[in-house]
Amino acid sequence: DAGVIQSPRHEVTEMGQEVTLRCKPISGHNSLFWYRQTMMRGLELLIYFNNNVPIDDSGMPEDRFSAKMPNASFSTLKIQPSEPRDSAVYFCASSRAGEGAKNIQYFGAGTRLSVL
């Protein structure tokens, strides 16, 4: 399996622009997570989906952030408009729910976002 695939790996944009990050989870996994990592705050959960349905979006910082999962093999995280404080590494992770202690989350390589 190719693992969790994220694109792009790096994104540099100007303040005010729309940014879309993409994630393809591991085939057969039914839980998907978006995280943000910064030096100040470490890893933070933004949102997680179970069976394509958003279960917990309490970590989404504000209305500028939105996430969708139109099907089991694709998710997007969108920031509109972007701000310099959104600069961070964004990780997507997936897991197979229902296996008790075995439902390890597998992480993608991350998208490094720089908003100028």
Partner 1 sequence: KNEVEQSPQNLTAQEGEFITINCSYSVGISALHWLQQHPGGGIVSLFMLSSGKKKHGRLIATINIQEKHSSLHITASHPRDSAVYICAVRSPGTYKYIFGTGTRLKVLA
Which parts of this chain interact with partner 1 (CB under 8 A)? 31, 33, 42-45, 48, 50, 56, 89, 91, 95, 97, 101-107, 109-110, 112
Both tokens assigned to 84: 């310099």
What is the dihedral sign for C-alpha 24, 62, 80, 13?
negative
CA distance 61 to 89: 15
Residues 6+ apart with CB under 8 A from 72: 25, 30, 51, 52
Q: What's at 44, amino acid-wise? A: E
Give the shortest CB-16-to-partner 1 separation in angstroms. Answer: 26
